[in-house]
Structure 1
Amino acid sequence: MKKIILYLVMGTTILGAQLVDGYYSVQGEKYHYGWLSTASITVEDGEIVEITTNKVNKEGDLVTEDAEYNKKMLAKSGVTFKEFSVEGPKNLMAVLKGNRDTAFHLPEIDIVAGATSSSKKFKKMMEFLVEKAESGEAGKYRMKL
């Protein structure tokens, strides 16, 4: 099985930014091939302690549990969305845990080989959620991806 490569490079410092505890989630406004992209973060004691990403269809099914979708994605790109949904957040969390400065740093999220579209959407959703966590606007959101 092809390994997922996710490079995380420390990016720009968001000076003086503090994250407000809470649960922040977002999903796309438009279905792409029958699926909405989703992501969430949980902030405790000013730090992101959990990150998730997935896709959901109109019936509420998750793409990570859709064997046919993952089989097709693997054949086309060399990676399944199920792998991406685990490795992307796990690698980002590893970088964030090593980043315990007084200001919050959101690392640059490079593209995952074989999952370019998913990576771009994940990055955009993470930026959006961090902005919400900085302002303390916990909740569920929709956004254009």
Structure 2
Amino acid sequence: MMKKIKIVLLTVVMLFSLSSCVKEQELKDGYYTAHMDGYDKGHGWQEFITVCVSNGKIITVEYNATTPTGFIKSWDIAYMRVMNPAKGIYPNRYTRQYGAQLLEKQSSDIDAISGATSSGKNFKALVEAVLEKAKQGDCSVAIVSYSE
């Protein structure tokens, strides 16, 4: 009998401790976009991210970059042919890898990909911006400044 009481008391204490934990603000369903505040000085790309949130979870991610004319970075075969031998990675690959990490972790806590660390920093900043918008349910486009 005493053992059952201890188990019940322990269960009650655990439930109270779990309920007192601060719950992270849930993401509101919708599409959220963020882009960098201009085109990078080195190559002329503007990175962006669009996520779709459904049932409080990110279910799709589009991360890429465009030129002022709208050309998509991951489609730039010439850029890939130069970058891949030099860095061992290229935009069509690392954009998908960063997106996959976001889908898995549901946070900006991503691991940098060797050869794409600048894009990784920008990706993280873009993710933080869209997550903030998603918590508020604000579907306006977030503008993120390049960090120096």
TM-score, L = length of structure 2? 0.77
Distance 1:79 1:47, change over 3 A: same
Structure 1 residue identity aligned to 2:94: F
Whole-angstrom CA distance in 1 between matches of 2:77 and 2:99: 21
TM-align CA RMSD: 1.8
Moved more, 122-131 or 135-144: 135-144
Tell me the equivalent position of 2:6: none
Whole-angstrom CA distance in 1 between matches of 2:99 and 2:65: 14
Distance 1:140 1:107, change over 3 A: closer
| Residue 107 of structure 1, CA deviation | 5.3
| Residue 137 of structure 1, CA deviation | 0.5
Tell me the equivalent position of 1:144: 145
| Residue 123 of structure 1, CA deviation | 0.7
Superposed CA deviations along residues 67-94 of structure 1, whole A, max 9, x for unmatched, are: 1112222132110011011121123313
Asked if 1:24 is matched to 2:32, the reply is yes
Tell me the equivalent position of 1:103: none
Identity of aligned residues (%): 27
Tell me the equivalent position of 1:52: 62
Aligned pairs, how many?
Answer: 124
Is the strand fraction higher in 1 or 2?
Answer: 1
Superposed CA deviations along residues 69-122 of structure 1, whole A, max 9, x for unmatched, are: 1222213211001101112112331334xxxxxxxxx25212111110011110
CA contact (8 A) 2:34 2:48 kept: yes
Structure 1 residue identity aligned to 2:89: V
Which consecutive aligned stretches of 4+ in structure 1 deviate over 3 angstroms post-superposition? 13-16
CA contact (8 A) 2:125 2:144 kept: no
1:1-145 map, 5 Å: 15-32=23-40, 33-96=43-106, 106=107, 108-145=109-146
Whole-angstrom CA distance in 2 between matches of 1:116 and 1:91: 14
5+ long unaligned stretches in structure 2: 1-20
Is the helix fraction higher in 1 or 2?
Answer: 2
Higher relative contact order (CA 8 A, sep 6+): 1
Whole-angstrom CA distance in 1 between matches of 2:22 and 2:111: 19
Whole-angstrom CA distance in 1 between matches of 2:27 and 2:33: 14
Structure 1 or 2, whichever has the larger Rg, is: 2
Aligned with 1:108: secondary structure? coil
